[in-house]
Structure 1
């Protein structure tokens, strides 16, 4: 079995799970905000949000980072050496990863504020914020698959 292909497959699966959570949590925030005057409904959304973060998003983020680090290790050790670190497409990918990870932590902080009863923004804001991870994913996937940003 090719370890690189296994790592790549596991990385892709972890990213899919992570992206699903990043795209769904803001939608749950919209429903939570819409029903803020109904404590029995918001309790259900709070439980859904907590479970999504704890059991899907956080483990998927950690797995994506670990499998991605494994891919980098294999690339450095067995394939390309250090040269691909200097490729613009790789830099774009790493910046995107930092952006998506920051967005994940932003959502986590907003979840905590929402569950303390604090205002986290409007429905409109969360509908727009919902597009952020997808835009970052588009940029990263195009950069990596086409190596478009190459010297």
Structure 2
């Protein structure tokens, strides 16, 4: 089993439309701007190619690790040391029986959601607490990542090589 970089790229790109909706002034954008101190002038002065480019790069990096959290078959592969050619015959039997088990969008969403809730939200929360940010800030940004990781997990899990 090798990483499917196209799948990970598509999952990474999915964060952009989610962000466009999530941070739209009619959704959470106005509250987010108030909580961060962002102004229209600051936003217009940003190098958006750099911002979106790095966003996709970072989301791709997230997708690289997320595949190991949403695809159970990587756990079985890990037992072989990552080299199935050196595995015992039981590994081949296992993959024959369970090779595509739980490879659904819904199952990937479940694991993506749990990753967002129990990893991304606490990471954002810890930083925000030390930066003296509000609970609104934590919930808006944490919520964004919960949604992103949920969708990314679904894409990565369902899209088989």
TM-score normalised by L of structure 1: 0.31
Structure (1 or 2) with the greater helix fraction: 1
TM-score normalised by L of structure 2: 0.29
